[in-house]
Structure 1
Amino acid sequence: MFDGPGSAASAFAPTIRKRMDEHVKFIARLLHGEKMAALCREVGISRKTGYIGKLLQDLTTGAKTQKAQLGFNSNESL
């Protein structure tokens, strides 16, 4: 209903995709050992924002890992 061809959601989709790609690259660079302060300076964000992004990534990764360890499978029906 809200995501048709002429909707605002479809107009912002490329922008959202680009920002998500940038976020993934940022986290990947952190995981490869780059320093938070230098990376934040390069991309133009505060260290606080960088750490929040990393925290969110850690939380989602941890939740997925914990779910897998507990035997939850998103493909199973109830």
Structure 2
Amino acid sequence: MKYSFFMPLIAVSILQLAGLLMNVFRGRVNTIGITRFIEYKYKSSPSLFFFGVAWELVLWILPMYAIIGFLMEPN
């Protein structure tokens, strides 16, 4: 039962990471701000661009890691 609930969440995380990789190759990243979504571009601000990439990696890798850890636990 727990596998059927969590496997779509893992798939969404993988798809989001693939989308992030495509956007990084284009030189931009879309991330969450305090009140809205923000797009950082490498040409306008390299430091904010790398901050946005790091933030997106944290947002999508940590939940996926926690879910996989939960699924690997014995019943």
TM-score normalised to structure 2 length: 0.41
Report the structure, 1 or 2, having the larger strand content: 2
Where relative contact order (Cα < 8 A, 6+ residues apart) is larger, the structure is 2
TM-score normalised to structure 1 length: 0.40
